Amino acid sequence: MADAGKKGNGVVSTAVMGLDEEVGGGIPEGSIVLLSGTPGTYKSSMAFSILHDAAHKKGSVGIFLLLEQSMKSLLGQQERMGRPMDATAKDHIIVSDVGRIRAAMDKFGTDKDWMTALKAYVEYLVNKREASLLVIDSLPVLEILSQEKNRREFLFDLFEWIRSLNTTTFLISEKKSLDMDYGEEEFLSDGVFQLTLSPVGEVDLQRRIRCIKMRGMPHNTSMFALDHKDGSFRIVPAI
Ligand SMILES: Nc1ncnc2c1ncn2[C@@H]1O[C@H](COP(=O)(O)OP(=O)(O)OP(=O)(O)O)[C@@H](O)[C@H]1O
Ligand SMILES: [Mg+2]
């Protein structure tokens, strides 16, 4: 099946039932989208689900750079959630954890610094596999690995490089609480989804999502409850 294409004017689905409609139809291709949230709020799962959905529905190829956890742990959870690495997923989703990235760095020059080698590796994958989707999980870990002292400079360089790839890119970032000040990355990104666990009454917590930014789209900024059932995400009105 043909790849969804990275130069088209189409959209990429959020793969969350009901959410595309709330962002004006989907995520414009070529966007850089931040999935920002508190711990355990399905950031990695939502990003993986976008790649899994696009692979099966559009034949899109996606790269998942996994810097925070092992491939075994991510894929194990995705399988239990109903997104197995079946033949289509294996063919279209390239998951690389730190171990794999380090091994690939030998090929792209160990004399170079980590960031230069990582960029060369990703560019190689994007071109060779004609990938239209990229996930970086996560931005804070990439920042640490880059050893760049100047955060602004690191982010400007990173965003410029991502734009040159022409992929629709999902950057996972962390927040201790959604009340924290916005960082440079919120301003640089084309779209921002916030994910959180919010108290419901005195004893319960509810996972929630809202889109606070999607350049070029008439999106809703309301908070929705994020549910996961039978292998897919969906939004329902927040309690
Ligand atoms: N089989 C499952 N079905 C549904 N939810 C699950 C399942 N297994 C784990 N979870 C939930 O998924 C959460 C973790 O999901 P995920 O790793 O996508 O979140 P995250 O936001 O990326 O987390 P982190 O902050 O650790 O990176 C766990 O906190 C757990 O509550
Ligand atoms: Mg995660």
Residues 6+ apart with CB under 8 A from 90: none
What whole-number percentage of the chain has pLDDT above 90?
A: 78
Ligand 1 atom nearest to 74, measured from its CA:
17
Please answer whether residues 207 and 195 qualify as being in contact, where contact means their C-beta atoms are separated by less than 8 angstroms: yes
- Ligand 1 lined by 80 (C-beta under 6 Å): yes
* Cα(116)–Cα(105) distance, integer angstroms: 9
Domains, in order of start, for the chain = 29-192 (3.40.50.300)
Q: In the predicted model, is pLDDT for residue 111 greater than 80?
A: no
- Note the pTM of the prediction, 2 decimals: 0.95
pLDDT tens digits, residue range 166-180? 999 999 999 877 777
Element (H, E) at 62: strand 62-66
| Distance from residue 111's CA to the centre of ligand 2 (Å) | 30
> What is the C-alpha end-to-end distance of the chain, expressed in Å?
41
- Ligand 1 lined by 77 (C-beta under 6 Å): yes
Q: In the predicted model, is pLDDT for residue 115 greater than 80?
A: yes
8-state DSSP, 129: H
pLDDT tens digits, residue range 212-230? 999 999 999 999 999 999 9
